[in-house]
Structure 1
Amino acid sequence: MGEERSGYLYGLLAYTLWGFFPIYFKLLKPATPLEILAHRVIWSVAFVGLLLAVMRNWRFLAKLLRSPRQFGGMALAALLIAVNWAVYIYGVNSDRVLETALGYFITPLVLVVFGVTLERERLRRWQWAAVGLGAAAVVVLTVDYGRLPYIALALAASFGSYGLVKKRMSLPPAQGLFVESGVLALPALAYLIWLTAAGHAEFGHVSVPHTLLMIGAGVATAVPLLLFAAAANRVSMVGIGILQYVAPILQLACGLLLFHEPMPPARLAGFCLVWVALIIFTADAIRQNRRKQNRRKRTVTGPTAATAEPVTALPPR
C-alpha cells in the first residue's frame, strides 16, 4: 500500500472513531460531564506517558520548560481543548448530539473568520459566499431552537481557537497531548478527590464495565489523535480537509438513527445551508490547490530557452 493510500486509511480511521464518540460518552452516564472530563484528562496523561516512556522520548520536556512563551501557549491550548471537551460531553449527554455535529460542521467556516479577523487574511469571493451561508444557517437555527445554538458555536469557537494556538506550537501530537493533559491533570485530580470525598463520584460505583470505560477514555482520546498525525504526514491538507467531514456526518447519523433526536423542517433547512456552504468552501479549496500545483508544474517544466515566453503565474482570486 502506498504512503498516500495508507494516509487516507489512517485519516478515515481517526475521523470514524471521532464520529462514534457520542456512543462512547453516552455509555459513561450517569457520571456527570465534569467527572467524565476529569477522568479523560487523567487517563490521557497516563496512557500517553506510558507511550512516551516506551518510545523513550522525554527530551521535549526540558526544551519546553526552558521556553516560558511556548509553555504558556501549551497551557492556553490545554484550557481551550478542556472547554471543547467539556461542552462536547455535555452536549452528548444532554441529548444534543445533532447540535454537537453542527459545531464541527461549522468549524471550518469559523476558522476562515478567524483568519480574516486575527490573521488579516483576504477571502476569495467563494469563501465569502460560504461564510455568508454559514451565518444565514445560524440565524435559521436560532429561530428554530428559540435560542442561539450555543453548544455548536462554543464547540466551533473553542476548537477553532485551539487550532490557531496549536498552529504556533511545534510539538508532535503525542507530546502535545501529554503536555496539555498534564497542565489540566492537577485541577482534574483535585476535583476527583473532592468529588469522591463528597460521595458524588460515579467512578467505581456503577459497574465494572463502566469503570473500565471511564479508564478507557484516555485511550479513546489518544488513539484517534495519533492516527490523525499519521494521516497528516501522508495526505495533503485538502485531503485532510475533506476527511474531516466524516466525523460530524457520523455524529449526525448517531443523533438521528440511534438517539432519535428531532429534526424538524426548519432545523433541516439550517443544516442544509451549512452543507451547501461547506460544499462551496471545499470546492474552492480544491480548485485553489489545483491552481497551485499547476503553477509549480509550469515553473519546473516550463521553457528554459532564451527565446521562450516566460511563465506567468495565475492571478490570485
Structure 2
Amino acid sequence: MKFSKYYLVAFLSFVIWGFFSLALKPLHEYPSLDILFYRVFLCAIIMLVITLFVRVSVLKQSIAFFKAMSAPDKKSIIARTLGGGILLTANWFFFIYVMNHISVKAASFAYLVCPILTTVIAFFVLDEKLSKWQWTAVMLSLISCLLLSFNNIADVAYSMIVALSYALYLVTQRRNFGVDKFLILTVQIVFSALILLPFYPVYSAALPQDATFYWFILLIAVLFTIIPLYMNLYALQGVTSSTMGILLYINPLMNFSIALLYFHEPINTFQIVAYSLILISIVVFNERLIFKKRRVVAG
C-alpha cells in the first residue's frame, strides 16, 4: 500500500505539471525574469508563513534531528539542499524562457529527454546500473535530438539545458533523506529567492499594473510550483527510478498535445520522426516493466 501511495502522488504531480503551459502562456508578454522573480518570491513568502506559523512542531523536530546528525551528514544535506535550490532556479528560468520565447514543443521535448538524462547521470553519480535495452533507449533519444537539430539547433540546445537542470535536481535529491520534505523545499525556494533578490532592482521591468498578472503568478506559485514539487520530493521516498521515469513522461506528452491541439503550433516531418523515436525509446527504456506486467496478466 505504501508503494501505491507514493505512485499515486508521483502520478498526480506530473498530471498537474502537464497543464502548466495554460497558466504560463498568458504571461508571454512579460519578461521571463519578471515571471521568475515574482514566482519565486511569492513561493518563498507562502512557504515561510506555512513553516513558521502552521508547521511549528515539524520545524522543531527537524531542527532537533539536524542537530543530532554527524558533521559529515550535516554538510551533505546542506550541500544537496542548497545545490537543489540553485538547480531549481536555473530550471525555472530556462523553462519559462523556452516556453514563452522559443516554443511549447521545445519545452515539452526537454522533459521527454529528462528521464533518459536522469538515468544516465544516476549511472555515473549514484552507480545505478543500466540494461542493454536502456542504453538502446538512450541512443534512440540522442538520434531524435540530432533529427531535431536539423530543424533548429537552438531549440534543441535550450531543451537540453532545461532537461539537464531538472535531471541533476532529481539525482541530487534522491539521497536527500531524513529531514521533512516540505522544510527542504522551503529552504531551497527561500535560497532561490535570496539568489535572485540582488538581481531584481537591476533586471526587473516596471511593476506590473494588471491584476491578472498577479492572479496567474499566484496560480503558478501554488498549483504549479509548491504542490507538485512537494509531491515529487515525497514520492521519491517510495517510488523506484524506473517508475519515476515512466510517470515523468506524462508532463511532456501533455505539453506536446496542448501545443498542437490548443496553441496550434506547426510541426514538420523531422519533428514527427524525432518525437516518434522518443516514444519508441520510452517503450524500449521501460521494456522490463512493460513485459513483466504482460507476463503477470498472462499468468
- Give the TM-score normalised by structure 2: 0.83
Change (3 A) 1:146 1:183: closer
Query: For 1:242 and 1:231, how far apart are their aligned partners in 2?
Result: 13
Offset at residue 43 of structure 1 (A): 1.2
Offset at residue 158 of structure 1 (A): 0.8
Change (3 A) 1:249 1:195: same
Query: For 2:160 and 2:107, how far apart are their aligned partners in 1?
Result: 9
Query: For 1:239 and 1:68, how far apart are their aligned partners in 2?
Result: 30
- Residues 1:168 and 2:175 aligned together: yes
State whether residues 115 and 248 of structure 2, in contact with CA within 8 Å, keep that contact through their aligned partners in structure 1.
Answer: no
Report matched runs for 1:84-103 at 5 Å: 84-103=91-110
AA aligned opposite 1:184: S
For these two proteins, the number of residue pairs brought into alignment is 286
State whether residues 238 and 286 of structure 1, in contact with CA within 8 Å, keep that contact through their aligned partners in structure 2.
Answer: no
Deviation sequence 1:161-199 (CA, Å, 0-9, x none):
111211232244311211111112223233334456xxx
Partner of 1:58: 59
Query: For 1:118 and 1:237, how far apart are their aligned partners in 2?
Result: 14
Offset at residue 116 of structure 1 (A): 3.2
Q: Taking every aligned residue pair, what percent have the same amino acid on both sides?
A: 23
Query: For 1:278 and 1:19, how far apart are their aligned partners in 2?
Result: 17
Offset at residue 6 of structure 1 (A): 5.8
> C-alpha root-mean-square deviation of aligned residues, in Å?
2.9
> Could you say what secondary structure the match of 2:191 adopts?
helix
Report matched runs for 1:218-229 at 5 Å: 218-220=221-223, 221-228=225-232
Query: For 1:165 and 1:146, how far apart are their aligned partners in 2?
Result: 28
Query: For 1:272 and 1:151, how far apart are their aligned partners in 2?
Result: 20
Deviation sequence 1:73-122 (CA, Å, 0-9, x none):
22211111111111100011114111111111111111222133334444
Offset at residue 288 of structure 1 (A): 7.4
Query: For 1:214 and 1:127, how far apart are their aligned partners in 2?
Result: 39
Change (3 A) 1:172 1:237: farther
Question: Greater helix percent: which structure?
Answer: 2
- Residues 1:179 and 2:205 aligned together: no
Offset at residue 143 of structure 1 (A): 1.3
Change (3 A) 1:72 1:3: closer
Query: For 2:7 and 2:82, how far apart are their aligned partners in 1?
Result: 31
> Could you say what secondary structure the match of 1:100 adopts?
helix
- Unpaired runs of 5+ in structure 1? 294-317
Partner of 1:215: 218
Report matched runs for 1:1-317 at 5 Å: 9-52=8-51, 53-56=53-56, 57-59=58-60, 60-61=62-63, 67-147=74-154, 149-170=156-177, 171-195=179-203, 200-203=205-208, 205=209, 207-220=210-223, 221-228=225-232, 238-286=242-290
Query: For 2:171 and 2:240, how far apart are their aligned partners in 1?
Result: 19
State whether residues 10 and 244 of structure 2, in contact with CA within 8 Å, keep that contact through their aligned partners in structure 1.
Answer: yes
Change (3 A) 1:79 1:214: same
Change (3 A) 1:138 1:132: same
State whether residues 33 and 203 of structure 2, in contact with CA within 8 Å, keep that contact through their aligned partners in structure 1.
Answer: no
The structure whose Rg is larger is 1
- Unpaired runs of 5+ in structure 2? none
State whether residues 35 and 201 of structure 1, in contact with CA within 8 Å, keep that contact through their aligned partners in structure 2.
Answer: no
State whether residues 38 and 191 of structure 1, in contact with CA within 8 Å, keep that contact through their aligned partners in structure 2.
Answer: no
Query: For 2:128 and 2:243, how far apart are their aligned partners in 1?
Result: 22
Query: For 1:54 and 1:243, how far apart are their aligned partners in 2?
Result: 31
Change (3 A) 1:64 1:25: farther
